[in-house]
Every structure is written in C-alpha cells, then in structure tokens.
Amino acid sequence: MLFSIVQVTATAIGVALIRSVKPVLGACTFDEVSVLTDPGFTISINSDYKVLEDTTAKVKYGLYCDDTQPSDVKDIDRWFKVPVESVGLRIPIASGFLEALGHSDKLVAAESPGNLTNICVDVSKIKTLESDSNDTNADVIFSADEDSDSNSSVRLPSSDDLTPLQMAEWIKFVAAFFNNEKNAESLFSSIADAYNCHWNNLQHLKDAPHAYWVQYTDDSSTSYSIIDSPYQKDLLAGAGATNDTHAALSDSSDQKAFQDAVKDAAFVFDQSELHNYGQRATEWYSAFGYKDPKNSGVEFLTSRNIWRTDGYTNKAGVSNFPEFGYVRPDLVLQDIINVLEPSYDPDYSRRWLLWLGGTNENTKVISADNYDCAKPWITTVDKCSARTDFTGDSDSSDSEADGDDNSGSGSGRAGKIAGGVIGAVVFVALVIVALHYYNRHRRNARIQSLAQTEYGSERIDLRETRRFS
C-alpha cells in the first residue's frame, strides 16, 4: 500500500516526531527522530543511552556515548559505544547505507570484499570476514543474521517482505550507530516524497500495463514462481501496472502451469540466478521452457519485454542493485516507470534495469564516468512535481530501449509499433515500385525514339540500344 508522509500524523502512527529539545548527554547529543513506515524497528531515547529494537528479530541494542556502559538497564541484548569507528558487513545493503550516510570510510571488513560494487571503497584494504570472525577490529558487523558474529552482529533486513520505503527507512537504524539520525531522516524524507510523488502520478493510466515479477530456481528442485512480495508488488503498483494473475500456481514445479499463469503479461521482471553472461536471454528461455518465443503468441515474449535488475555492475559482473537499489526506491520506481511508460520522463536514464530481450546485454559497469564519489547520486534526490494529466496513451510513449533490436515499451504499444513498422515498409515498397516502372517507361520511350531516327551518320539498331539504357 502507498505510504505518504504528508498524510501520516504522530497520532496515527503512534511515534514521537522530532522535538526541539534534545536530551544532552555527557559525551554527545542524541537526536530523537520519528519512524514512519513500520519498518520493523524502533528508536527510543533515555537519559544516557538510546535503544534500537529490532521488532522482527526481537533484539534490543543499547547505544551509549559515555566511557562507562549504563548499568542496571534491563532487557538490552547488546551494547555498543557510539559513534562507532569501524564497520564490518555480511549484507550488501549495509554498504549502500554507509555510502548514503557518508561513512564508507568506516568499512574495514566484508564477507566477500570482491563483491562490493561501491567504487568509493578501496577493496584492497577490506579484510575478509570469516565465520563468526572476532579479529577484524570492527565495532559493529551488519548481517542478515543477528547472531552471525556474537556480540558484534546487528541484523538488517534481507528479504522482500518489506515495502520499498520500509526497507529504505532502515537507514535511520544504521545512522544511529554514528549519531547521524538527523541526516538519515532528511535523506529518507526526500526519498519518500519523491517515491510517493511518482507513485501518485502513475495512477491515472487509461491502459494500465500488465506485468509480473518472476523467478526460476533449481537448487534442490526446479521451481517457477510469480513473486508477490510486498517489495515487488508495491513497485509494480507504483508504476501503474496491474499484476493480479488469473491462474493460481498450486505446484511450483509445474512449468506448464507457470506459463499459463503469466501468458497475459505485457512485461516480465525476472530475478532468477542466471550464469551465462552474454547468453542469458537464451538461458532464460530454456529455464522457463519457451522453445519458440517469437511465435508463442504471448505478448511479453513476442515483444521481448523481459527485464532484470542487474544492469549496473562492478567489473566482476556483481550487481549493484542489492547494494544501492534498496537504499533508493525512488530511483528503482523510476527505472520501472521508464520501461512501462517511457513518455512519463523521456530524459530519464535507467540505472539498474537490464533488457534481456535483445541480442546484446548492455550491462553498465560502475565507474567514475557514472558515479562521482565527491558528489554521489545516491545522496541526491531530484524533486518530483505532482501531476494528474499523465494517462500513458501518448504517441510519444513509443520509444526505444537499449539495444540494437529492442522492442518498444509502454502499455498497449506492441500493436501500435508493429502496425507503424508494417505501414512504413509497405509505403516504401510502393514508392520503389512506382519509381521502377516510371524509369522503365522513360527508358523504353527513349529507345524507341533512337531506333526511329538517325544519330549523326549512323543508323541505330534496336540491338544496340542497351548502351543508352
């Protein structure tokens, strides 16, 4: 469901808004901030410490500034002296939060340093986190498991059970370890405003596109899924798409049932784990059992509108999306809108979405050319203007996506594009035929004229007239 900060009040959500009077502590000042989207954590301020409660994992973290840990405090599972000076991570989203908060320089250890995509981090200086590592000198280790590193570990969400804004609001939770909640709240407020603005602007389409988020897995057994988690559903709804399947998948291993369930889609967004880089389109068709996609009669196959989120990677091909995408849901939403309704903002350039339907996989590698560490776009939120006039039925929405032979995007566009192309081809063909017969008529007339008259002192025979043709 769409979340709007403008419509939320302190009474409605039962949280305290920012106060003008801050609790002043012995070593530092804590800012009290609001938590707006019910993301799965709370922040509360006490006389000499603050408490972060992970309500999902049911863990409470005590954060204090003084040299001495507060005593006689009940129900605190782990204590951390803040601001922390060094960070380890086992989950990509933590790196994105650090970058957005300006604390990437605090990163000292990671489970897989080579998988980091943030070019502002010197990977050569990052230690590798082994299992239950205690020798990294990290003050805190962010992980998907609250018990991964004993008393150093702090859990961050790793599933899509949260909406995009709920996931993004965890930036306040991470910021609390740096006493940087005010900056986090300001950034999140801008992100939420932009997300909600675009979300509202796309709710007036006359011809809403139909799209699904899908996944193929073959770990212990083959499985085909239509993903309906809150994260994916909110993004599709925010882009103005409908995504209610007309066929239930009672057996996830039934390939034919899956194909029947998604055959009404105009667009498909895939998050399967594919390995054959450069040939992932072929791999995808094979995995889902489509032997002749061009002649399948299924719209998303014939128009080749299959998309993925790994179009922005590091040099090793590791996707940047889990690292930066979850931090900036407003940009992810704009990526999807640009695919479904390109005329909404013709000048917008997608960041993460990769078109899987073409002959070329146009993956962009993150570099200084597209990410400036001095002025990172992850902290820059463009203002969105509210509008109710966009209905998605403009002819200008027939635009081309990346690739040499990409299909057009937008609701109801496949037929219009095909009709336009066919009409143009027929017109050109008729012009060529007309010119051919006109030139042929002129040539024959000229030949006949030459054949019946003298040219100088010679008589022209019809057998020689080909030199005048």
Q: Which of 180-189, 274-283, 402-411 has the lowest mean pLDDT?
A: 402-411
What one-letter code names the amino acid at 199?
W
* Confidence check: pLDDT of 246 > 90: no
Residue with the larger pLDDT of the pair 336 and 249: 336
Per DSSP, the residues of 447-459 read HHHHHTSEETTEE
pLDDT band of 429, cuts 50, 70, 90: low
Report pLDDT for 434.
54
Report pLDDT for 414.
44
Q: Is the distance from CB of 62 to CB of 51 less than 8 angstroms?
A: yes
Residue with the larger pLDDT of the pair 466 and 321: 321
In the block, tokens 């798409």 appear at 241
Report pLDDT for 394.
57
Compute the average pLDDT of residues 324-345: 98
* Number of DSSP helices (H) and strands (E) in the chain, helices first: 12, 18
Q: What is d(CA 78, CA 87) in angstroms, rounded to the nearest whole number?
A: 16
Q: For residue range 259-313, what is the model confidence (pLDDT) as tens digits?
A: 999 999 999 999 999 988 888 999 999 999 999 999 999 999 999 999 999 999 9
Report pLDDT for 132.
64
Report pLDDT for 397.
37
How many other CB atoms are there within 10 angstroms of residue 330's CB atom? 24
Average pLDDT, the chain: 83
- Respond yes or no on whether the N-terminal peptide bond of residue 209 is cis (omega within 30° of 0): no
What one-letter code names the amino acid at 166?
Q
Q: Indicate the SS3 state at residue 87.
A: strand
Q: Is the distance from CB of 407 to CB of 342 less than 8 angstroms?
A: no
Report pLDDT for 446.
44
First CA to last CA across the chain, in angstroms? 74
Beta bridge partners of 44: 51
* Confidence check: pLDDT of 466 > 80: no
Q: What is d(CA 437, CA 434) in angstroms, rounded to the nearest whole number?
A: 5
Cβ burial of 224 (10 Å; 0-12, 13-18, 19+) is: buried
Report pLDDT for 462.
28
Q: Indicate the SS3 state at residue 344.
A: helix
Confidence (pTM):
0.81
Q: Which of 67-71, 424-428, 464-468 has the lowest mean pLDDT?
A: 464-468
Q: What is d(CA 110, CA 242) in angstroms, rounded to the nearest whole number?
A: 39
pLDDT band of 437, cuts 50, 70, 90: low
* Confidence check: pLDDT of 445 > 80: no
* Confidence check: pLDDT of 384 > 50: yes
How many other CB atoms are there within 10 angstroms of residue 212's CB atom? 25
Report pLDDT for 392.
93
Compute the average pLDDT of residues 167-184: 97
Q: Is the distance from CB of 155 to CB of 145 less than 8 angstroms?
A: yes
Rounded to the nearest 10 degrees, how much is the dihedral formed by the CA atoms of 226, 227, 228, 229?
Answer: 170
For helices 255-262 and 280-288, give the axis angle rounded to 10 degrees: 110
* Confidence check: pLDDT of 74 > 90: yes
- Respond yes or no on whether the N-terminal peptide bond of residue 329 is cis (omega within 30° of 0): no
Helix, strand, coil in percent for the chain, rounding step 5: 35, 15, 50
pLDDT band of 29, cuts 50, 70, 90: confident
Compute the average pLDDT of residues 58-70: 95
pLDDT band of 145, cuts 50, 70, 90: very high
Q: Which of 103-117, 134-148, 353-367 has the highest mean pLDDT?
A: 103-117
Report pLDDT for 22.
47
In the block, tokens 């013709």 appear at 346
Q: Is the distance from CB of 341 to CB of 410 less than 8 angstroms?
A: yes
Report pLDDT for 279.
87
* Confidence check: pLDDT of 447 > 80: no
pLDDT band of 361, cuts 50, 70, 90: confident
Q: What angle do CA 19, 168, 335 make, to 5 degrees?
A: 135
Q: For the chain, what percent of residues have pLDDT higher than 70?
A: 76
pLDDT band of 182, cuts 50, 70, 90: very high
